[in-house]
Copies of this chain bind each other. A is one copy, B any other.
């Protein structure tokens, strides 16, 4: 089991972090979120071009980098922390599904960043369903790639990520198998947990920083145990969440037998911890955290949206109970 980043992985993290800090800081995130498409295609061109992130886990034979889930988790943690708007997670989920299915048709364009793809997660709902060129619709073991068809944008709690209802028109069949779909769902769980880890970390960082500069009753608020002890508990959640995500990514790469339990744990623990930390971060900011202009609510809304993205949270706990044969 490998829970510590390698030198190369730390470099990857640094690169993505610096890129996002420069290319998609939070004021730009807000502007992009209010734009027509909901994101900035120029940022995506650089993200997929210079950094090659669209093809990160796509096999090299299809033009991807052939990297592992350990690397993917690092990237998703950063895009989560930066609240990168647009279809990055959506396309990543599609790439995961297609890679597992051994697809040859769609992956090259996805890896090249020229096709925006998404997966209908919950019947006919898809992240960035209105913006995607291709929607992968899953029905049991059958997967179809749908282009066109009606796309009805949904109102979302999270202003930084859109969703749409997708009309189930006919599409090309993509090869598939029942057993494979179990693994795909586990991999989705790992990917979402990695993003949640980033949201959790950024929420904690924000309130820690604010606690060092905000004064109430003549003292920095971080010096009050009422704040300090809450932040310490939030830090404990971060440490555990990070350990769980690294373990799940390692299992995805190296230990397929351990993946189901590791993935269910990742959703059950990290999803909850992320919302709790985002919530407490917002609350500890005081009144300013309740304003639209402050970023705390963006993390809070992303955290809640991610917590239910793969279904009501209890399904992850039920899956744990099954896998543990309780």
Residues of A within 8 A of B (CB): 224-226, 228-229
Q: A26–B268 Cα gap in the complex (Å)? A: 46
Set of chain B residues within 8 Å of A225, measured between Cβ atoms = 224-226, 229
Nearest CB in chain B: distance from A246 CB, A = 31
Closest 7 CB pairs of A and B: A225-B226, A225-B225, A226-B229, A224-B225, A226-B226, A225-B229, A226-B228
Nearest CB in chain B: distance from A226 CB, A = 4
Closest chain B residue to A230, Cβ basis:
B229
Q: A228–B226 Cα gap in the complex (Å)? A: 9
Q: A224–B228 Cα gap in the complex (Å)? A: 11
Listed A/B pairs (5) with beta-carbon separation below 8 Å: A224-B225, A225-B225, A225-B229, A226-B226, A226-B229
The copy count of this chain in the complex is: 2
Closest chain B residue to A227, Cβ basis:
B225
Nearest CB in chain B: distance from A234 CB, A = 15
Nearest CB in chain B: distance from A88 CB, A = 40
Q: A225–B228 Cα gap in the complex (Å)? A: 10
Closest chain B residue to A226, Cβ basis:
B225
Set of chain B residues within 8 Å of A224, measured between Cβ atoms = 225
Q: A229–B226 Cα gap in the complex (Å)? A: 7
Set of chain B residues within 8 Å of A229, measured between Cβ atoms = 225-226
Set of chain B residues within 8 Å of A226, measured between Cβ atoms = 225-226, 228-229
Nearest CB in chain B: distance from A214 CB, A = 16
Q: A175–B1 Cα gap in the complex (Å)? A: 67
Closest chain B residue to A232, Cβ basis:
B226
Nearest CB in chain B: distance from A217 CB, A = 12
Q: A226–B231 Cα gap in the complex (Å)? A: 12
Nearest CB in chain B: distance from A193 CB, A = 30
